């Protein structure tokens, strides 16, 4: 069997592509709108043809011509339509119907209709599962002859050192494909950081400076190591804005060495956004540490010339490669069995 081909839609900085490649797929094309994500993607996946454009402007026919793929030949179409419109914070604020990105799910469906791949994989936030758009997507895939399976899974059970509940859909054309194999044990923060290596420790991604007030620095020093929280300080020593706040209890919390990390988000460099303090050092995790917690290898390139926040956003939005690898490996094996 020739190396199976895949296309990555809404590719971001390349976490999905990396996982597919690790599972044995040859990713031949990708679509991504954000310029910084495109720059990062191209630096790490030099052989993939990238359309740096709004997917709504990308013709399926043009993709097929450029990649020399006929309808029905593509092995796997995978992607993660932007999920901010379905995020927990958005739904808490009652804005789920107002974000135009919500309808990008149907752009994914447009590519399925045009390409008719042998298999489909889509990942997103859990809230999408209850939305009418997802129900329509599933119904349309079934009409096209796909056996569809979906569930909300925690990446921590699939070798990723963080809690990250995600909706995953896998569909096979006239074949049922199960989810990937779960890991024998969870990978911890300690395990992830051990992968750093001297070169990564010396790199700029790991050494982007922090800018904190003396008051905040003092607060961080007082928080107990290895899983401690601002709540351990008692009311008197907490910041004024925290004293009357009953929610967001992970804010200014430390990660624990022998547990998985919390979900890595675009705010992971800021302790006011969650439990993003290093287990023992008096700082937030670095961007290299955040990437390791997303299961990126220590040598994966992220540009730092635009500062920390844009890099954190890319890393937080990325799909964990190891989570993808495990599910893609199952798809790979089923495609191989069909060939034989």
Q: Are 310 and 35 in contact (CB under 8 A)?
A: no
Residue 86 has what pLDDT?
56
Tell me how far CA of residue 83 lies from CA of 10, 80, 90, 230, 311, in angstroms.
11, 8, 10, 30, 18
Residue 120: beta bridge partners?
Answer: 77, 171
Tokens of 44: 């790490």
Return the CATH number of 189-317, one of 1.10.3470, 3.90.120, 3.40.1350, 3.30.420. 3.90.120
Distance between CA atoms of residues 89 and 183, nearest Å: 30
Candidates 116, 143, 127; CA nearest to 90 is 127
Rg (C-alpha) for the chain, rounded Å, is: 21
Residue 92 has what pLDDT?
46
Q: φ, ψ for residue 218 (rounded to 5)?
A: -65, -40
Q: What is the 3-state secondary structure (H, E, C) of the chain?
A: CCCCEEEEECCCCCHHHHHHHHCCCEEEEEECCCHHHHHHHHHHCCCCEEECCCHHHCCHHHHHHHHCCCCCCCCEEEECCCCHHHCHHHHHCCCCCCCHHHHHHHHHHHHHHHHCCCEEEEEECHHHHHCHHHHHHHHHHHHCCEEEEEEEEEHHHHCCCECCEEEEEEEEECECCCCCCCCCCCCCHHHHHCCCHHHHHHCHHHCCCCCCCHHHHHHHHHCCCCCCCHHHHHHHHCCHHHHCCCCCCCCCCECCCCCCECCCCCCCCCHHHCCCECCCCCCECCHHHHHHHCCCCCCCCCCCCCCHHHHHHHHHHCCCHHHHHHHHHHHHHHHHHHHC
Tokens of 109: 């469906």
Residue 79: beta bridge partners?
Answer: 9, 122
Residue 93 has what pLDDT?
47
Distance between CA atoms of residues 69 and 296, nearest Å: 30
Domain range annotation of the chain: 5-186+320-339, 189-317
Distance between CA atoms of residues 228 and 215, nearest Å: 18
- Which residues are CB-neighbours of 20 under 8 A, at least 6 positions away? 6, 8, 27, 76, 78, 324, 325, 328
For domain 5-186+320-339, the CATH architecture is 3-Layer(aba) Sandwich (3.40)
Give the angle subtended at the CA of 290 by the CAs of 332 and 237, to the nearest 5°: 145
pLDDT tens by residue, the chain, 340 residues: 689 999 999 999 999 999 999 999 999 999 999 999 999 999 999 999 999 999 999 999 999 999 999 999 999 999 999 966 655 544 444 544 555 668 999 999 999 999 999 999 999 999 999 999 999 999 999 999 999 999 999 999 999 999 999 999 999 999 999 999 999 999 999 999 999 999 999 999 999 999 999 989 999 999 999 999 887 765 555 555 555 555 456 788 999 999 999 999 999 999 989 999 999 999 999 999 999 999 999 999 999 999 999 999 999 999 999 999 999 999 999 999 887 6
Tokens of 338: 């069909």
**Residue positions annotated with a catalytic role:** 83
Q: Are 71 and 115 in contact (CB under 8 A)?
A: yes
> Half-sphere exposure of 14 toward its Cβ, with a 13 Å CA cutoff?
29
Distance between CA atoms of residues 228 and 235, nearest Å: 15
- Which residues are CB-neighbours of 202 under 8 A, at least 6 positions away? none
């Amino acid at each position: 069997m020739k190396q199976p081909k895949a296309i990555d839609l809404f590719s971001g900085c390349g976490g999905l592509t990396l996982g597919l490649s690790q599972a044995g797929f040859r990713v031949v094309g990708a679509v991504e709108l954000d310029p910084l994500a495109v720059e990062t993607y191209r630096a790490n996946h030099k052989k993939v043809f990238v359309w740096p454009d709004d997917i709504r402007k990308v013709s399926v026919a043009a993709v097929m011509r450029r990649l020399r793929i006929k309808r029905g030949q593509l092995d796997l179409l995978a992607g993660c339509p932007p999920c901010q419109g379905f995020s927990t914070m958005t739904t808490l604020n009652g804005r789920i119907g107002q974000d135009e990105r919500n309808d990008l799910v149907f752009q994914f469906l447009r590519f399925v209709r045009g390409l008719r791949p042998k298999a489909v994989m889509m990942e997103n936030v859990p809230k999408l599962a209850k939305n009418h758009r997802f129900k329509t997507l599933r119904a349309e895939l079934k009409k096209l002859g796909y056996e569809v399976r979906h569930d909300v899974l925690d990446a921590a059970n699939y070798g990723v050192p963080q809690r990250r509940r995600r909706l995953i859909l896998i569909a096979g054309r006239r074949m049922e494909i199960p989810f990937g194999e779960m890991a024998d044990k969870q990978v911890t923060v300690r395990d992830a950081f051990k992968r750093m290596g001297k070169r990564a420790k010396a790199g700029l991604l790991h050494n982007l400076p922090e800018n904190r007030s003396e008051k905040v620095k003092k607060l961080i020093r007082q928080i107990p190591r290895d899983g401690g929280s601002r709540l351990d300080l008692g009311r008197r020593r907490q910041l004024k804005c925290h004293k009357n706040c009953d929610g967001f209890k992970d804010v200014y919390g430390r990660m624990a060495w022998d547990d998985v990390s919390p979900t890595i988000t675009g705010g992971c460099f800021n302790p006011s956004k969650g439990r993003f303090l290093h287990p023992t050092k008096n700082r937030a995790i670095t961007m290299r540490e955040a990437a390791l917690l997303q299961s990126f290898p220590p040598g994966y390139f992220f540009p730092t010339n635009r500062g920390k926040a844009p890099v954190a956003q890319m890393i937080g939005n990325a799909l964990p490669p190891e989570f993808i690898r495990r599910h893609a490996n199952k798809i790979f094996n089923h495609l191989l069995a069909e060939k034989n």
